[in-house]
């Protein structure tokens, strides 16, 4: 039985605020302090027809990829998609039991772990990082990341763009304290940037592609130069503790991996579908999807680079130490092994 129910999550902003509050109040609450639940046996997927798997999504993300590739066909369970503005509210929704599984950039899992979120990393995807950029106005005097000292930069807190920005500042020898970070979600940040309320905007595709194809902007840095560019599949620990739900997640992750491979192998077809599905002009859709991919990769190959990213946040005083290996639940590596590949060289 195949049922997909698009649903806009109007409380995403509240989730983001709740995550910030959790981060502030969590102190040393970390995943390591929790007792891990035993892994339940998977059940026969044929018995999941009454189960609704709740999936978090972002603009033009998971649902579009699965639909375009046809991997939502013949599901043994139903899927309900909820749309969020960015990764951090998805992590909070996972922690609160609002959704079961989601895909985010590389930074939200780290911030969530530092806050004690009951969420695990269960899959990984490679992305070259070209779509994650720091933009300035075309006539801006800012020519490089070094020029951001003493200036205002828009960014969504705890997102991959936030991590990218901190890494770039470090590479340029700029003290993060010398930069005024204005934390806004993409839609609000885009409006503020167009008004000239800040000197730069750290953001990801498709928002970078929209800005580049509709306004006069320049790129001063891309994540390909500094960040690991990974996406991660995250699952609620409660969902993972449930035999039926974690069985559905196993099937869902295989379908998502196959869809990610399909989009990389059919770029023109995927870009055309993507633009229509999310309401993007063809130029923006083609640009964003030519550089922002979700090729499935082995989870084990991502732990080291992700730990390096977490350590940067810790060293910069953003979060308490996080052990990335402790966030990883590799129970699905047996079913994912046939559909994942190596991390591409960069």
Determine, yes or no, domain membership for 345.
no
Residue 189 to residue 191: CA distance in whole angstroms: 5
- 141 with 236, same domain: the answer is no
Q: What's the whole-number mean pLDDT along residues 170-199? A: 96
- 148 with 119, same domain: the answer is no
Which residues 6+ apart lie within 8 Å of 44 measured at CB?
A: none
- DSSP-derived letter for residue 299 is G
Closest CA to 132 of 98, 100, 107: 107
Determine, yes or no, domain membership for 15.
yes
- 221 with 233, same domain: the answer is no
- 266 with 168, same domain: the answer is no
Q: What's the whole-number mean pLDDT along residues 316-320? A: 88
pLDDT tens digits along 231-262: 999 999 999 999 999 999 999 999 999 999 99
Note the pLDDT of residue 141.
98
Identify which has the larger pLDDT, 15 or 245: 245
- 298 with 258, same domain: the answer is yes
Answer for the pair 1, 248: CB distance below 8 angstroms, yes or no. Answer: no
Determine, yes or no, domain membership for 344.
no
- 95 with 237, same domain: the answer is yes
Question: CATH number of the domain that 220 lies in?
Answer: 3.40.190.10
Peptide bond into 125 cis (omega under 30): no
Residue 244 to residue 165: CA distance in whole angstroms: 40
Q: Which of 80-89, 215-224, 291-300 has the least mean pLDDT?
A: 291-300
Instruction: Count the domains in the chain.
Output: 2
Instruction: Please report which confidence band the pLDDT of residue 293 belongs to, taking 50, 70 and 90 as the band edges.
Output: confident
Note the pLDDT of residue 305.
93
Is beta strand 133-137 parallel, antiparallel or unpaired with respect to 217-222?
Answer: antiparallel
pLDDT tens digits along 280-289: 999 999 999 8
Q: Which residues pair with 54 in a beta bridge?
A: 80
Asked if the model's pLDDT at residue 323 lies above 70, the reply is yes
Backbone CA torsion sign across 298, 301, 306, 307 = positive
Determine, yes or no, domain membership for 114.
yes
pLDDT tens digits along 74-113: 999 999 999 999 999 999 999 999 999 999 999 999 999 9
Asked if the model's pLDDT at residue 12 lies above 50, the reply is no
Instruction: Please report which confidence band the pLDDT of residue 346 belongs to, taking 50, 70 and 90 as the band edges.
Output: low
Q: Which of 157-166, 213-222, 251-260 has the least mean pLDDT?
A: 157-166
Determine, yes or no, domain membership for 194.
yes
- 243 with 334, same domain: the answer is yes
Note the pLDDT of residue 129.
87
User: Cβ–Cβ contacts within 10 Å for residue 297, how many?
Assistant: 23
Full domain range(s) for residue 281: 4-128+229-339
Closest CA to 114 of 300, 324, 343: 324
Residue 335 to residue 331: CA distance in whole angstroms: 9
Instruction: Please report which confidence band the pLDDT of residue 299 belongs to, taking 50, 70 and 90 as the band edges.
Output: very high
Asked if the model's pLDDT at residue 204 lies above 70, the reply is yes
Asked if the model's pLDDT at residue 26 lies above 80, the reply is no
- 245 with 217, same domain: the answer is no
Note the pLDDT of residue 327.
96
Identify which has the larger pLDDT, 33 or 282: 282
* Percentage, residues of the chain above pLDDT 70: 89
Of 225, 240, 269, the one marking the end of a domain is 225
Asked if the model's pLDDT at residue 48 lies above 60, the reply is yes
Q: What's the whole-number mean pLDDT along residues 1-9? A: 39
Note the pLDDT of residue 24.
34
Determine, yes or no, domain membership for 346.
no
- 94 with 239, same domain: the answer is yes
Asked if the model's pLDDT at residue 153 lies above 50, the reply is yes
Asked if the model's pLDDT at residue 10 lies above 50, the reply is no
Asked if the model's pLDDT at residue 306 lies above 90, the reply is yes
Q: At what angle do helices 267-278 and 62-69 cross, to 10 degrees?
A: 130
pTM for this one? Answer: 0.86
Residue 92 to residue 95: CA distance in whole angstroms: 5
Residue 151 to residue 321: CA distance in whole angstroms: 28
Q: What's the whole-number mean pLDDT along residues 36-42? A: 84
Residue 150 to residue 338: CA distance in whole angstroms: 49
Residue 136 to residue 129: CA distance in whole angstroms: 18
């Amino acid at each position: 039985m195949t049922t997909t129910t698009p649903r806009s999550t109007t409380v995403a902003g509240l989730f983001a605020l709740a995550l910030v509050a959790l981060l502030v109040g969590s102190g040393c609450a970390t995943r390591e302090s929790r007792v891990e639940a035993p892994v339940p046996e998977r059940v026969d997927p044929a018995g999941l027809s009454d189960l609704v798997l709740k999936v978090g999504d972002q603009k033009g993300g998971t649902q579009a990829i699965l639909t375009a590739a046809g991997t939502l066909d013949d599901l043994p369970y139903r899927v309900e998609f909820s749309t969020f503005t960015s990764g951090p509210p998805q992590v909070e929704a996972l922690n609160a039991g609002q959704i079961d599984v989601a895909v985010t950039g590389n930074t939200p899992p780290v911030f969530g772990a530092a806050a004690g979120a009951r969420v695990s990393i269960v899959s990984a995807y490679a992305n070259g990082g070209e779509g994650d950029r720091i933009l300035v106005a075309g006539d801006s005097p800012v020519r490089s990341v070094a020029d951001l000292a003493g200036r205002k930069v828009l960014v969504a807190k705890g997102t991959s763009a936030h991590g990218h920005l901190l890494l770039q500042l470090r590479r340029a020898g700029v003290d993060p304290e010398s930069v005024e970070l204005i934390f806004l979600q993409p839609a609000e940040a885009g409006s503020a940037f167009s008004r000239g309320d800040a000197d730069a905007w750290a953001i990801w595709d498709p928002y970078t592609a929209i800005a580049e194809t509709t306004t006069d902007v320049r790129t001063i840095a891309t994540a390909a130069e500094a960040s690991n560019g990974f996406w991660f599949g995250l699952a609620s620990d409660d969902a993972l503790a449930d035999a039926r739900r974690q069985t559905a997640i196993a099937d869902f992750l295989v379908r998502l991996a196959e869809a990610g491979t399909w989009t990389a192998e059919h770029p023109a077809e995927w870009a055309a579908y993507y633009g229509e599905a999310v309401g993007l002009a063809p130029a923006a859709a083609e640009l964003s999807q030519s550089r922002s991919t979700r090729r499935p990769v082995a989870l084990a190959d991502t732990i080291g680079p992700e730990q390096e990213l977490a350590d940067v946040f810790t060293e910069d005083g953003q979060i308490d130490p996080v052990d990335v290996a402790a966030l990883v639940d590799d129970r699905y590596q047996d079913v994912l092994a046939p559909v994942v590949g190596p991390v591409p060289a960069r």
